[in-house]
């Protein structure tokens, strides 16, 4: 199994570029099921989760028709055969986001069988709100052998007014499912308490370029006028705000100075606010020859004072502080001068990184969904275990800043969401190597 070996204590310096967004690309790929015509996506990241989605689409008869991936990640998909509507457990269990084929399959094919996604390292992760929304459009559901069996009534889905709020806010993939399905429903759908995440805005942009009639995406009320069919489209995926945020904080934790291209600052205002309070400076650089800066694709320079100030942070639905950056922020605050408070309101159990950071000398006290982070002068390298995607990123950051050697096991979690992370950090001056744990001296992945 792949492992990272990091020699900490090197400042990051240099230039890097943010890739296309994983969490935008997954529902965009699923939207290719809504038409028989080709859908081209640009800037698709090369990640394990994306490959899983390719596999799922292929099983559903939707194939990649341009075989050359190329460095720009241009991918064209087209449905060749609509007969199979089954997203099997073997695929769904490797990637929970597979559930976002449910809405497109129901709307276009009139039936779907999607394995019920189980929980994962960050919590229970139910899909009840997805089903509630699709039921309001007329879909019917039963559960058989762990699979959700869904059918549309004769005459297809019908527009409705739907409230999609839940105990922890709205649902991102639930909004994606209902919005995608409503595009081909008869009449008008109003989604109230829709997720406002930039990935939903990006999905709406693709659907609109396929001929859908959508207004309000990015606000809590989205209105969709159903159309009879959708057609081909060519769309560039937004930059990954979570990858961008991870690089911003990796620069800060190493007291570095890096320039980041393709940085979606407009989607990172809450992070930028907290970074400013911590003492991290993020400057948007002017466009070339005075060209206007696209705030979703800016070039920014991040630098940091020697002393990090403690802050309070609560994760919230967008535009609040993203849960997907909570673990990375915790790593940074471990080195702040005083006590910080982090409260997790989206996935209240998303704290597997707490025990691992503690192994590196962090002083953390958790009570329910809140962690008090008492800043320490140094983190110390240790063998640690990656438990989920963002927790892995947090451990990489901690390893970059720690004294001595950090060995991170199970980096396949990281590979789900960050493309060649180690190569990109090495280009910025980090000492980080990917090794097979069998090759580590003395142990089966433990290492010292
Ligand atoms: N929820 C329900 N019922 C539902 C759906 C969600 O109660 O039917 C709850 C969840 O348990 C959670 C909250 O609602 O407490 C929000 O969950 P949401 O449905 O928005 O999460 P998701 O759509 O399954 C996406 C991202 C996650 C990210 C969350 C929150 C993708 C592929 N995944 O998941 O990304 O954390 O939104 O922003 O877009 C990651 O990239 O590391 C990751 C986990």
pLDDT tens digits for range 343-370: 999 999 999 999 999 999 999 999 999 9
**From CA 384, how far away is CA 401, in angstroms rounded?**
15
**From CA 310, how far away is CA 444, in angstroms rounded?**
38
- Could you tell me the distance, in angstroms and rounded to a whole number, from the CA of residue 321 to the centre of ligand 1? 14
Which pLDDT does position 72 carry in this prediction?
Answer: 63
Torsion of CA 354, 356, 358, 364, to 10 degrees: 0
Q: Using alpha carbons, select from 379, 434, 382 the residue that is nearest to residue 410.
A: 434
DSSP state of 20: B
Residue nearest to atom 40 of ligand 1 (CA): 324
Which pLDDT does position 447 carry in this prediction?
Answer: 34
Phi-psi region of 156 (alpha: psi -120 to 50; beta: other; left: phi over 0): left
**From CA 295, how far away is CA 370, in angstroms rounded?**
32
Residue nearest to atom 20 of ligand 1 (CA): 171
Which atom number of ligand 1 is nearest to the Cα of residue 128? 8
**From CA 386, how far away is CA 170, in angstroms rounded?**
28
Q: Using alpha carbons, select from 343, 392, 397 the residue that is nearest to residue 367.
A: 343
Output the pTM of the full model. Answer: 0.96
Q: In the block, which residue shows the tokens 């937004």?
A: 238
Number of C-beta neighbours around residue 38 at 10 A: 16
**Omega before residue 68 within 30° of 0, cis:** no
- Could you tell me the distance, in angstroms and rounded to a whole number, from the CA of residue 186 to the centre of ligand 1? 28
Phi, psi of 306, deg, nearest 5: -70, -35
Which pLDDT does position 147 carry in this prediction?
Answer: 93
Sheet with 405-409, edge to edge strand ranges: 383-385, 405-409, 2-7, 431-436
How many residues appear in the chain? 448
Q: Which of 100, 120, 263, 334 is catalytic?
A: 120
Catalytic residue flag (residue 120): yes
Which pLDDT does position 121 carry in this prediction?
Answer: 76
Residue nearest to atom 37 of ligand 1 (CA): 172
Are 248 and 282 spatial neighbours (Cβ–Cβ below 8 Å)?
Answer: yes
How far CA 391 is from CA of 106, 139, 321, 388, in Å, comes to 34, 37, 16, 5
Q: Tell me how many degrees the CA angle 357-360-365 measures, rounded to the nearest 5.
A: 45
Which atom number of ligand 1 is nearest to the Cα of residue 346? 15
pLDDT per position in the chain (448 positions), as tens? 899 999 999 999 999 999 999 999 999 999 999 999 999 999 999 999 999 999 999 999 999 998 765 556 899 999 999 999 999 999 888 888 999 999 999 999 999 999 988 667 777 788 999 999 999 999 999 999 999 999 999 999 999 999 999 999 999 999 999 999 999 999 999 999 999 999 999 999 999 999 999 999 999 999 999 999 999 999 999 999 999 999 999 999 999 999 999 999 999 999 999 999 999 999 999 988 888 999 999 999 999 878 999 999 999 999 999 999 999 999 999 999 999 999 999 999 999 999 999 999 999 999 999 999 999 999 999 999 988 999 999 999 999 999 999 999 999 999 999 999 999 999 999 999 999 988 887 654 433 3
- In the chain the domains, ranked by start, together with CATH numbers, are 2-19+239-439 (3.65.10.10), 22-236 (3.65.10.10)
- Could you tell me the distance, in angstroms and rounded to a whole number, from the CA of residue 374 to the centre of ligand 1? 29
Which atom number of ligand 1 is nearest to the Cα of residue 122? 44
- Could you tell me the distance, in angstroms and rounded to a whole number, from the CA of residue 180 to the centre of ligand 1? 17
Which pLDDT does position 122 carry in this prediction?
Answer: 77
- Could you tell me the distance, in angstroms and rounded to a whole number, from the CA of residue 397 to the centre of ligand 1? 24
Which pLDDT does position 73 carry in this prediction?
Answer: 87
DSSP state of 402: S
As for ligand 1, residues whose beta carbon falls within 6 Å of it are 23, 26, 97, 123, 125-130, 166-169, 171-174, 195, 199, 323-324, 346-347, 389-390, 417
Residue nearest to atom 29 of ligand 1 (CA): 172
- Could you tell me the distance, in angstroms and rounded to a whole number, from the CA of residue 15 to the centre of ligand 1? 31
Residue nearest to atom 6 of ligand 1 (CA): 171
Residue nearest to atom 16 of ligand 1 (CA): 171
For a ligand 1 pocket test, name from 346, 390, 391 the mutation site with the most ligand atoms within 8 angstroms of its C-beta.
346
H-helix segments, 308-428 = 326-333, 352-359, 389-401, 412-415, 421-427
Q: Which residues, 6+ apart, have CB-to-CB distance to 227 below 8 Å?
A: 183, 184, 211, 212, 213
Residue nearest to atom 36 of ligand 1 (CA): 324
DSSP state of 37: S
- Could you tell me the distance, in angstroms and rounded to a whole number, from the CA of residue 357 to the centre of ligand 1? 24
For a ligand 1 pocket test, name from 19, 20, 21, 23 the mutation site with the most ligand atoms within 8 angstroms of its C-beta.
23
Which pLDDT does position 32 carry in this prediction?
Answer: 98
Which pLDDT does position 437 carry in this prediction?
Answer: 84
Q: Which two tokens stand for residue 49?
A: 């989760």
């Amino acid at each position: 199994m792949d492992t990272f070996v990091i020699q900490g204590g090197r400042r990051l310096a240099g230039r890097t570029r943010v890739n296309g967004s994983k969490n935008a690309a997954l529902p965009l790929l699923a939207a290719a099921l809504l038409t028989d015509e080709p859908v081209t996506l640009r800037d698709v990241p090369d990640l394990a989760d994306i490959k899983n989605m390719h596999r799922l689409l292929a099983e559903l008869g939707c194939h990649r028709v341009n075989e050359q991936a190329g460095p720009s990640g241009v991918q064209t998909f087209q449905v060749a055969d609509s007969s199979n509507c089954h997203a099997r457990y073997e695929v769904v269990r490797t990637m929970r986001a597979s559930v976002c084929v449910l809405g497109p399959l129901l709307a276009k094919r009139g039936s779907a069988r999607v394995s019920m996604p189980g929980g994962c390292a960050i919590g229970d992760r139910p899909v009840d709100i997805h089903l509630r929304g699709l039921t309001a459009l007329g879909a019917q559901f039963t559960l058989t052998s762990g699979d959700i069996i869904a059918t549309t009534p004769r005459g297809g889905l019908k527009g409705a007014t739907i409230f999609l709020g839940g105990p922890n806010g709205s649902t991102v993939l639930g909004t994606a499912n209902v919005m995608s399905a409503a595009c081909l429903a008869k009449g008008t759908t109003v989604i109230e308490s829709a997720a406002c995440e930039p990935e939903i805005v990006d999905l709406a942009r693709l659907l609109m370029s396929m001929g859908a009639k959508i207004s309000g995406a990015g606000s809590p009320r989205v209105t969709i006028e159903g159309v009879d069919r959708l057609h081909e489209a060519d769309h560039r995926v937004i930059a990954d705000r979570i990858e961008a945020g991870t690089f911003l904080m990796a620069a800060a934790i190493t007291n570095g100075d890096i320039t980041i291209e393709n940085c979606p600052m407009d989607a990172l205002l809450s992070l930028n606010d907290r970074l400013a309070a911590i003492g991290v400076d993020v400057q948007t650089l002017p466009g070339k020859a005075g060209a206007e800066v696209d705030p979703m694709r800016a070039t920014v320079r991040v630098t940091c004072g020697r002393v990090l100030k403690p802050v309070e942070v609560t994760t919230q639905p967008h535009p609040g502080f993203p849960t997907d950056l909570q673990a990375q922020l915790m790593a940074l605050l471990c080195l702040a001068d005083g006590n910080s408070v982090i409260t997790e309101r989206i996935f209240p159990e998303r704290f597997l990184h707490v025990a691992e950071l503690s192994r590196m000398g962090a002083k953390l006290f958790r009570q329910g969904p809140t962690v008090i982070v008492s800043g320490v002068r140094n983190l110390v390298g240790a063998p640690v275990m990656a438990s989920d995607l963002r927790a892995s990123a947090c451990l990489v950051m901690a390893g970059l800043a720690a004294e001595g050697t950090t060995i991170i096991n199970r980096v396949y979690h990281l590979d789900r969401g960050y493309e060649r992370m180690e190569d990109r950090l090495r280009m910025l001056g980090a000492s980080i190597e990917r090794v097979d744990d069998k090759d580590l001296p003395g142990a089966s992945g433990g290492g010292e």
